Amino acid sequence: MPFSGNREKLVAISALIVAMLIWSVSGIAIKHALVVLPPFTMIVMRFVPSVLLMLIIGLVRRNHSLFCLQKMDLKDLPLFLVAGFCQPFLYYMLETYAYDALNSPTIAETLLSTSPLLSPIFAAVLLKERVTKYNIVGILISTIGVFALTLAGSTNYSIGSYWGVLLAFAAVSAAVVDSVMMRKAPMKYSSLSFVFYTQLISLCFFIPIWFFKEAKTVCNIGYWTMDIGQLKTALWCVGYLTVFASVTAFILFCFALRKVGVTQANAFNNIRPVFTALWMILFFGEQLPAAKWIGMILIIFGLFVCQKQEKNAKS
């Protein structure tokens, strides 16, 4: 549904930018957390508190349209099951194995950032969502920018197993299907309700895997006899992932997507590498070649084009 006014458009775009800004730090936080924590342990430690936090917020702010927590109707359970299975569960599983199968992390990051390319296809087929020429052109320009930003300066372009490519596109498809489910969810459910139920369902898939793969290891007291500084860093990172990446960013993204549609909302995923690059410049002193700066400009320009409305578009 196109915007009804400039104010609503500004609010939705602002929500998307804040969500992408938060998620742009997630990769750095995950990397530091995994120094100490096994992957499924980190995921469980991240999503159990996020679900509890949303439950508390929903009960306290039950009269607030954005943060109230509605009871799920059984007829809507299949929709939430598909969404919760696709993301975070299936996306994280496929992403992990894609990184393992592909030789270059740069290639993996590039393939995993292609959700804006697939979004118009899924939105048009599954939602009958109108996709304009500006959406397509803007997404293509922005995606070229992502390729320039992620690949410029890389010395390893070997792909590795082609299964890794398939897994990467499967992960991206799972994320896009989740966003389609956000759009299909009845508007009676607040953004917090949608995120709460999908993450709760994902935990039902994650916890059995954690129990069989890692529970015995991390429940051993001897496992935690490690460098206290690294442990503190890992816990701070998990806290960030819980409060900001898993709760705040997901709610903001869900809110904005239901306003602007799957295609335009997912187009903003292209700006995440820009924010990540800026974080690396500000806090780690990384120097970027000219090609990466050109890539960043293309990404931002493409987003402006993607948001442009056709003159004859209906409200």
pLDDT digits (tens, 9 = 90+) for 44-77: 999 999 999 999 999 887 777 778 899 999 999 9
Domain count, the chain: 1
DSSP letter assigned to residue 74: G
Interatomic CA distance for residues 15 and 108, integer angstroms: 27
Q: What is the pTM of this model?
A: 0.88
**Residue 282 within a domain:** no
**Residue 49 within a domain:** yes
The C-alpha angle 243, 247, 252, rounded to 5 degrees, equals 125
Distance (Å) of CA 211 to CA 44, 251, 270: 10, 28, 35
SS3 at position 160: strand
pLDDT digits (tens, 9 = 90+) for 8-29: 888 999 999 999 999 988 888 8
**Residue 145 within a domain:** no
**Residue 311 within a domain:** no
SS3 at position 283: helix
Under a CB-based contact definition with an 8 Å cutoff, are residues 256 and 10 in contact?
no
152 residue type, one letter:
A
CB atoms closer than 10 angstroms to residue 307: 18
Interatomic CA distance for residues 270 and 124, integer angstroms: 20
DSSP calls for 83-115: HHIIIIIIHHHHHHHHHHHBS-HHHHHHHTT-H
**Residue 237 within a domain:** yes
Per-residue confidence in pLDDT tens, the chain, 315 aa? 444 457 888 899 999 999 999 998 888 888 888 888 998 999 999 999 999 999 999 988 777 777 889 999 999 999 999 999 999 999 988 988 887 787 766 677 778 888 898 899 999 988 888 888 889 999 999 989 888 887 776 655 556 677 888 888 999 999 999 999 999 999 999 999 999 999 999 999 999 999 999 999 888 877 888 788 889 999 999 999 999 999 999 999 999 999 888 998 999 988 888 888 888 788 777 777 888 888 888 988 988 888 776 655 444
**Residue 77 within a domain:** yes
% of the chain at pLDDT higher than 70: 92
Distance (Å) of CA 254 to CA 92, 178, 212: 19, 10, 32
Interatomic CA distance for residues 98 and 104, integer angstroms: 10
Distance (Å) of CA 178 to CA 17, 25, 229, 289, 310: 19, 21, 37, 35, 27
Domain enclosing residue 126, as ranges: 30-132+155-269
**Residue 226 within a domain:** yes
**Residue 222 within a domain:** yes
